Amino acid sequence: MQFTRDTVQEIKKVCVIGPECTGKTDLSQFLAQHYQTSWVEEYARAYLNKLGHAYEQIDLLKIANGQLRMEDEWIYGANKLLICDTNLIVIKVWSEHRYGNCDPGILSKIADRKYDLYLLTNIDIPWASDPLREHPDKRELFWDIYKNEIAATGVPFVEISGEREARKKRAIDTINSTFKF
């Protein structure tokens, strides 16, 4: 298929978002395979793995720019739907939690970037330790923050809860009914 500005604008963007260790990547990969489309990985993970020291606030702007670059590139390989494993709201939440504020450049990019649907992954699955995960004791706090942040966008969202198969079914049913696939 030859992609043009119009065909890229027709692609629906679904963002899988939620607190740490709530199955976002697993669900994103599954949905991309199910719909035979592209998915945008979480840029922060690769960035932080290569950083070599604790991240600083300036790194969050670099991560935000990397996440958006990946979205902009992967949309050209998408099949009606682009699955995003997180977005800049996550960076905003982390920045505000850790530093008490968020870079205005990140806030501006959040306002400019549009999504068509959010899938908010719940904290009802067990925590798995990972060197990049920071707050196993604050999952409920972050769940509430993400829910409020997403609700404020005005974009439709659905909570994804339960065991792995129930999550997959709920996500597929939501995407199919939202976009009439």
Q: Each residue of 12-47: pLDDT tens digit? A: 999 999 998 899 999 999 999 999 999 999 999 899
CA distance 181 to 176: 5
State the DSSP H helix or E strand holding residue 169, giving kind and residue range, or none if neither.
helix 164-179
What are the Cα distances from residue 102, in Å, to 19, 46, 106? Answer: 18, 21, 7
| Residue of 53, 20, 43 whose CA lies nearest to 128 | 20
Answer yes or no: is pLDDT of 137 > 90: no
Q: What percent of the chain has pLDDT over 90?
A: 80
CATH code of the domain in which 111 resides: 3.40.50.300
DSSP 3-state of 139:
helix
CA distance 159 to 147: 9
The structural domain count of the chain equals 1
Range of the domain at 69: 5-179
**pLDDT (average), residues 70-95:** 96
**pLDDT (average), residues 143-162:** 97
